[in-house]
């Protein structure tokens, strides 16, 4: 295990030590939630070739339903997370039944249409809180352990995300994952070999939606609320950007992309407010509004200079270096 996945173990040790290194636990948990969300999209986009613009519906729908169950029914966080997984899986199955028979831009537009329908449902439904969102979700206890302390919750979130990441790794390295790769490379050939491509794609889509639902439920547990931005199509675009910038079809690419984008969105707004207070010049307080522009610049640079993404380019460089050494 140590010889096969040395980088995984090093990364796990770093994540375990983050609170001791002075990293704010809530920020680290937010990055972990979005990293898991990006990994779920990478499962269908990077390994199956399905561009989904509806993943925000799985993430946000699970955030709403899990948060409502934990707040109004006083159910435990474990039940809330299971509700999030089930919500994502059910939505993925419903979306997939209609979208999976289409390819390319048609598949993306169908998932976007369903996601927007769900967005307007969340806007009007009474239990979601409308524009105010679902507020005041308690953390409670998990198996007798109180989750009120950020440090305790951080290690719980880390354990859940690590387990989900191991599951994704097992899926992509299994015979099922190899069939998905074959469908992505040449779907007619895979069908000619006897594989039911639509059934495999639907299973991958449902699994991806379930993992996205887990990420959404974790996000609600960490931050204590769910809002309309969790189901907006801009979040689907943001998670696609995370996957592309980090490295499409790589195991750690979505994690790197999520760290970069979430850090940019979080720290840039804080820096703008600090600069406004330090200089007394109010335009700096609007620096956070430039996030969309900067993320667009990052995407353009990634397309022009790092087409494989950060991790993809690093893996390609390492392969070229190993070839020259031999």
pLDDT over 80 at 126, yes or no:
yes
Domain residue spans in the chain? 19-325
List 141's β-bridge partners, or say none: 146
Average pLDDT of the chain, as a whole number: 87
Fold of 19-325: ABC transporter involved in vitamin B12 uptake, BtuC (1.10.3470)
> What pLDDT score does 1 carry?
44
**Distance of alpha carbon 326 from alpha carbon 319, whole angstroms:** 11
> What pLDDT score does 284 carry?
45
| Three-state DSSP state, 254 | helix
Question: Which has the closest alpha carbon to 81: 180, 160, 176?
Answer: 160
pLDDT in tens, 204-243: 999 999 999 999 999 999 999 999 999 999 899 889 989 9
Given a contact cutoff of 8 angstroms between Cβ atoms, the answer to whether 315 and 321 are in contact is: no
pLDDT in tens, 67-86: 999 999 999 999 999 999 99
- Tokens 């613009």 belong to which residue? 53
Question: Which has the closest alpha carbon to 155: 170, 142, 137?
Answer: 142
> What pLDDT score does 167 carry?
94
Question: Which has the closest alpha carbon to 308: 300, 316, 296?
Answer: 316
How far, CA to CA in Å, does 24 sit from each of 30, 138, 145, 226?
10, 20, 21, 21
List 146's β-bridge partners, or say none: 141
Q: What is the helix (H) or strand (E) element at residue 3, kind and residue range? A: none
pLDDT in tens, 303-316: 777 778 888 888 88
Structure token pair of residue 285? 């307080």
Alpha carbon 132 to chain centroid, angstroms = 23
**Distance of alpha carbon 5 from alpha carbon 84, whole angstroms:** 29
Q: What percent of the chain has pLDDT over 90?
A: 59
pLDDT in tens, 8-49: 888 888 899 998 888 899 999 999 999 999 999 999 999 999
| pTM tops 0.85 | yes
**Distance of alpha carbon 26 from alpha carbon 34, whole angstroms:** 12
> What pLDDT score does 11 carry?
86
For 48, half-sphere exposure in the C-beta direction (CA atoms, 13 angstrom radius) is: 31
Given a contact cutoff of 8 angstroms between Cβ atoms, the answer to whether 69 and 213 are in contact is: no
Given a contact cutoff of 8 angstroms between Cβ atoms, the answer to whether 54 and 102 are in contact is: no
């Amino acid at each position: 295990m140590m010889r096969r996945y040395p980088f995984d173990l090093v990364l796990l040790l770093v994540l375990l030590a983050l609170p001791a290194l002075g990293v704010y636990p809530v920020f680290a948990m937010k990055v972990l939630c979005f990293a898991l969300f990006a990994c779920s999209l990478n499962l269908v986009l990077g390994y199956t070739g399905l561009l989904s613009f509806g993943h925000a519906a799985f993430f946000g729908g699970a955030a709403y339903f899990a948060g409502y169950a934990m707040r109004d029914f006083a159910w435990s966080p474990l039940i809330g997370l299971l509700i999030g997984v089930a919500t994502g899986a059910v939505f993925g199955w419903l979306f997939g039944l209609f979208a999976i028979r289409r390819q390319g831009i048609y598949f993306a537009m169908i998932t976007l249409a369903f996601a927007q329908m769900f967005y307007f449902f969340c806007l009007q439904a009474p239990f979601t809180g409308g524009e105010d969102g679902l507020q005041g979700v308690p953390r409670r206890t998990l198996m007798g352990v109180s989750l009120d302390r950020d440090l305790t919750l951080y290690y719980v979130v880390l354990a859940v995300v690590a387990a989900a990441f191991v599951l994704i790794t097992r899926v992509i390295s299994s015979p099922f994952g190899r069939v998905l790769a074959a469908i992505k490379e040449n779907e007619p050939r895979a069908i000619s070999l006897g594989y039911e491509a639509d059934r495999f794609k639907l299973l991958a889509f449902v699994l991806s939606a379930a993992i996205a639902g887990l990420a959404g439920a974790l996000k609600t547990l960490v931050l204590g609320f769910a809002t309309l931005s969790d189901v907006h199509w801009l979040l689907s675009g943001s998670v696609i950007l995370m996957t592309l910038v980090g490295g499409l079809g790589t195991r750690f690419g979505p994690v790197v992309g999520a760290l970069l984008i979430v850090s940019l969105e979080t720290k840039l707004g804080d820096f703008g407010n600090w600069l406004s207070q330090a200089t007394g010049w109010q335009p700096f307080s609007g620096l956070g509004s430039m996030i969309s522009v900067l993320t667009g610049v990052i995407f353009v640079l990634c397309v022009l200079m790092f087409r494989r993404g950060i991790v993809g380019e690093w893996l390609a460089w390492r392969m070229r270096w190993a070839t020259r050494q031999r």
